[in-house]
Amino acid sequence: MPANLFPAPVEIFRFLPEIILALGGTLIMVLEALTGDRQPKNALGHVSLAALFAALVAAVAVHGSPGPAFSSMLLVDGFATFFRVVVIAVGILTVFSSYRYLSREGANTGEYYALVLFSVAGQGVMVTANELIMIFIGLEISSIATYVMAGLLRDDARANESALKYFLLGSFATAFLLYGIAFLYGATGTTNLTAIRETVLRADGPSPLLLGLAAALMLVGFGFKISSAPFQMWAPDVYQGAPTPVTAFMSAGPKAAAFAIFLRVFVTIFEPIGDRWEPIIWVFALASMTIGNFAALTQSNVKRMLAYSSIAHAGYVLVALCARSDIGTAAAMFYLAAYALMNVGAFAVVAYICGKGEKYVGIDDLAGLGSRRPAVAAALTIFLCSLIGVPLTGGFFGKFYIFKAALESKLIWLTVLGLLNSAVAAYYYLRMLVVMYMREPGEATENLEPLPAGLRTALFTSAAGVLLLGIFPSRILEFAVQSAKLFGR
Amino acid sequence: MQGVPLSWYLILSAILFALGVAGFLFRRSIITVFMSIELMLNAVNLSFVAFSYQFKQVDGHLFTFFVMVVAAAEAAVGLAIILTVFRNRATLNIDEINSLKY
Amino acid sequence: MLDTAFFYAFALLVLGGALLTITQRNAVHSAIWLIVSLIGVAGLFLLQKAEFLFAVQIILYVGGIMVLFLFVIMLVNLDEAARERQFRGRWWVALGCLALVAAETAYFVIKGRDAFRFAPRPETPASPLGNTEQLADVLFSTYLLPFELASVLLLVAIVGSVVMAKKRI
């Protein structure tokens, strides 16, 4: 009986990135207790970076030995590796852009870096999970760590409010997701994704009605987690109130991981009832794009505007899901990678500009950035161009592949409306560019401190990543296309 | 062999879940809103155990066990967040905690 | 027959408790009614031969989580709140919610068990072990990894609640 109490080395190897991250987080907590109260905690940030880089290397190395592990709790495949790399990269960029911000706010503590590691570990568990229990636990590790990060500045009323809303809506969503999982378990008698898929595909499988109920409930849960309309109402408040590096993190990492499990569950398990959920996703996609883009038009706060724009971007990814094809899944993967880079980058610029207490987060505060800090302005230009979808950036190819997949699946109207939406979106991104280059410097840009090394690295890396995805998209896309055949579909 | 059919448990769980959702949406006191989430989680647990009983398996029990663990963790963090909110604002009324502007 | 009687009794506890939880003015009263509801759920677990979960429900939920709730309610001063208007003016959502549940319930009642066509699965032989032993067997073999991850989750929760609630780090 206890033969499998001791997992084989290869199984542990397949789980290595998450082990490194969890141990790294624990180590930081120990080191935090050992270092004095008054010492600067940047060293702990370096430790977290080391753990993240080690995990990144491990994630790439693990790709060499794909397969299930721990009684099929995990499944290392191309899809898992792709998203592992994305979430770890988001973690690295977040740490780089946090140093200066945290010390400015007097909150440069080891706990923050430990929570980043734990959250990324949770996301790693989510994207490799092959079992609903693992998806659930990974989701909760990631979410709970992120709730706390959002409320890290405890004396700031806005951060409190952000953490509270994020927490309440997140738990609400989790309850829906769980109820859906309960019905999925009821329909199939198992919680293992591979086994569920086998059961669902059998001729005498569960009734579509029960599966549909499970899918509907899980859709509500995922809808909240990826902030798609009509479950988007929490996102602007939460993104605006949270500390900017945390906003960057939660708009990219947890969201990409949530999308990963969303794709995995819907493309594999609920494939047989695809005709039923496709129209619903169609509506969700269109509503997200429209609400996100039109609400963003009227914002004067950069963080809030980017929050609405992230709702719109969730809509674009849903278009790819709606296509229900391997190429659609691959397009969604590519887009999420590009989106993570450009969004973290854009928020990193905000983290640089905003000043103590986040005083300068209006769009007008960008005035004169082009003349005062040309390098930062150039980076922001790259991110905004990518968010618009200008050629030679990752965002362009992401949108291109998504709409190509949608057209191949005969989603003509959705494609047309999506493209019109992109045109609307261009307006508010371009407005930022105009303010940045055409206006005289204001109070915010006059008193800018020199660009700190950490932020410089974050900006440079994400800008380079966005350009790389835009100029040489084929290799990443090929990898995505190969990985999109989940479960040998 | 079993007296109570599965569907009764599922109906009970559906009503409990709906009561939880209703509480979440209407109550203004954050503490009660949070309690409503606990009601929803209990409805989920009830479904899991009912299905598990039907299948004569323990997998559903395990899921319930993990849900409880997570509920405990969420309660600890959530109540801590509620405490910081109260310290800063001296109110726990949801409609008053709405300072972020558009 | 006796099963059915117990089911009705516990169901009454669960639903009555839940209804009073979400309608009581005073947060302490809400918490007490929530405890009643949770005990009802525990009774239903027992009725379905989930003895281990019954114990966990009582110890962890009623003994742990609810005590935490009561502590927090006492730490924050809610006297003021009890006198305010308790409900948000969103009655259309309420009606929609109730209609949805009514439809769902009606559907279940009319279709009964026929609404569920379960996939056939191999018969698992009745285990001679008790519920707790069976759970332990599965938990420490198949579900070992989630079990270990639960410890990470609890660590995150500990770190998180200390970070949030401590006066200064």
- Are C87 and B81 an interchain contact pair (Cβ–Cβ within 8 Å)? no
**Residue in the block written with tokens 């440079």:** A460
* Dist CA A75 CA A80 (whole Å): 8
- From A239, which residue of chain B is nearest by alpha-carbon distance? B100
Q: Which two tokens stand for residue A339?
A: 């989106």
Do residues A249 and A116 lie in contact, with contact meaning Cβ atoms separated by under 8 Å?
yes
Is the CB of residue A29 less than 8 Å away from at least one CB of chain C?
A: yes
Which 41-70 residues of chain A touch chain C by CB within 8 A?
70
Inter-chain contacts counted by CB atoms under 8 A, chains B and C: 231
By Cβ distance, the residue of B37, B81, B101 closest to A147 is: B81
Instruction: State mean pLDDT over A338-357.
Output: 91
**Residue in the block written with tokens 């794709």:** A263
- Are C164 and B68 an interchain contact pair (Cβ–Cβ within 8 Å)? no
Domain boundaries, chain B: 6-96
- Are A171 and B51 an interchain contact pair (Cβ–Cβ within 8 Å)? no
C23 band by pLDDT with thresholds 50, 70 and 90: confident
C129 band by pLDDT with thresholds 50, 70 and 90: confident
Is the CB of residue C97 less than 8 Å away from at least one CB of chain B?
A: yes
pLDDT of residue B69: 93
Q: Which two tokens stand for residue A343?
A: 């969004």
pLDDT of residue C122: 53
Residue A104's Cβ-count burial label (10 Å; 0-12, 13-18, 19+) is middle
* Dist CA A44 CA A55 (whole Å): 17
Inter-chain contacts counted by CB atoms under 8 A, chains A and B: 116
* Dist CA A24 CA A58 (whole Å): 14
CA distance C91 to chain B (A): 8
**For residue A255, pLDDT beyond 50:** yes
* Percent with pLDDT over 90 in chain A: 62
Domain boundaries, chain C: 1-84, 131-169
Measuring CA to CA, which residue among B86, B94, B72 is closest to residue A234?
Answer: B94
Contacts of B63 in chain C (CB under 8 A): none
Is the CB of residue A246 less than 8 Å away from at least one CB of chain C?
A: no
Mean pLDDT is lowest, of A90-104, B2-16, B73-87, C48-62, for: B2-16
Instruction: State mean pLDDT over A369-387.
Output: 92
pLDDT of residue A129: 93
Instruction: State mean pLDDT over A284-297.
Output: 93
CA distance C159 to chain B (A): 9
DSSP string computed for A290-320 = HHHHHHHHT--BHHHHHHHHHHHHHHHHHHH
**For residue A159, pLDDT beyond 50:** yes
Contacts of A297 in chain B (CB under 8 A): none
Is the CB of residue B36 less than 8 Å away from at least one CB of chain C?
A: yes
* Dist CA B100 CA A163 (whole Å): 12
- Are B53 and C48 an interchain contact pair (Cβ–Cβ within 8 Å)? yes
Contacts of C93 in chain B (CB under 8 A): 25-26
Q: 3-class DSSP state for residue A389?
A: coil
- Are B100 and A237 an interchain contact pair (Cβ–Cβ within 8 Å)? yes
- Are A160 and B84 an interchain contact pair (Cβ–Cβ within 8 Å)? yes
DSSP string computed for A95-120 = HHHHHHHHHHTT---HHHHHHHHHHH
Instruction: Report which of residues B42 and B2 the model is more confident about.
Output: B42
Q: Look up residue A452 and give its DSSP letter.
A: P
Measured in whole angstroms, the distance separating CA C108 from the mean position of its chain's CA atoms is: 21
Measuring CA to CA, which residue among A355, A340, A439, A352 is closest to residue A387?
Answer: A340
pLDDT of residue B1: 43
Q: Which of C121, C161, C166, C169 to mutate to test the interface with B (most CBs of B within 10 A)?
A: C161
A2 band by pLDDT with thresholds 50, 70 and 90: very low
Contacts of A109 in chain C (CB under 8 A): 163, 169
Q: In CATH, what number does C1-84 get? A: 1.20.120.1200
Characterize A424-453 residue by residue with b for buried, 16 or more Cβ atoms within 10 angstroms of its Cβ, and e for exposed. bbbebbeebbebbbebebbebbeebeeebe
* pTM of the predicted structure, to 2 decimals: 0.94
Measuring CA to CA, which residue among C40, C46, C38 is closest to residue C67?
Answer: C38
Question: What confidence tens digit (pLDDT) does each residue in A426-481 have?
Answer: 999 999 999 999 888 888 888 788 889 999 999 999 999 999 999 999 888 999 98
* Dist CA C74 CA C96 (whole Å): 34
**For residue C81, pLDDT beyond 80:** no
Work out the mean pLDDT of chain A and round it to a whole number: 90
Which 132-161 residues of chain C touch chain B by CB within 8 A?
134-135, 138-139, 143, 146, 150, 153-154, 156-158, 160-161
Is the CB of residue B9 less than 8 Å away from at least one CB of chain C?
A: yes
Q: Which of B33, B35, B52 to mutate to test the interface with C (most CBs of C within 10 A)?
A: B35
By Cβ distance, the residue of B22, B61, B92 closest to C94 is: B22
Q: Chain C residues contacting A, CB < 8 Å?
A: 115-121, 137, 140-146, 149-150, 152-153, 155-157, 159-160, 162-164, 169
CATH topology of domain B6-96: Helix Hairpins (1.10.287)
Q: Chain B residues contacting A, CB < 8 Å?
A: 10, 17, 20, 24, 30, 33-34, 37, 40-41, 43-44, 47-48, 51, 54-55, 57, 59-60, 62-63, 66-67, 70, 73-74, 77-78, 81-82, 84-85, 87-89, 97-102
- Are A179 and B43 an interchain contact pair (Cβ–Cβ within 8 Å)? yes
Question: What confidence tens digit (pLDDT) does each residue in A317-337 have?
Answer: 999 999 888 899 999 999 999
**For residue A349, pLDDT beyond 60:** yes
- Are B7 and C109 an interchain contact pair (Cβ–Cβ within 8 Å)? yes
Contacts of C133 in chain A (CB under 8 A): none
- Are C143 and A141 an interchain contact pair (Cβ–Cβ within 8 Å)? no
ipTM of the complex model? 0.94
Instruction: State mean pLDDT over A39-63.
Output: 90
Contacts of B44 in chain A (CB under 8 A): 175, 178-179, 182
Q: Which of C111, C148, C161, C163 to mutate to test the interface with A (most CBs of A within 10 A)?
A: C163
Contacts of B89 in chain C (CB under 8 A): none
CA distance B4 to chain A (A): 17
Question: What confidence tens digit (pLDDT) does each residue in A213-225 have?
Answer: 889 999 999 999 9
**For residue C42, pLDDT beyond 90:** yes
- Are A152 and C145 an interchain contact pair (Cβ–Cβ within 8 Å)? no
Question: What confidence tens digit (pLDDT) does each residue in A172-196 have?
Answer: 999 999 999 999 998 888 899 988 9
- Are B65 and C4 an interchain contact pair (Cβ–Cβ within 8 Å)? no
Max mean pLDDT among A95-109, A124-138, B53-67 falls in A124-138
Do residues A293 and A309 lie in contact, with contact meaning Cβ atoms separated by under 8 Å?
yes
Q: Considering all CA atoms of chain C, what is the largest pairwise distance in Å, rounded to the nearest integer?
A: 59
Question: What confidence tens digit (pLDDT) does each residue in C89-120 have?
Answer: 566 766 776 777 777 767 766 665 555 556 55
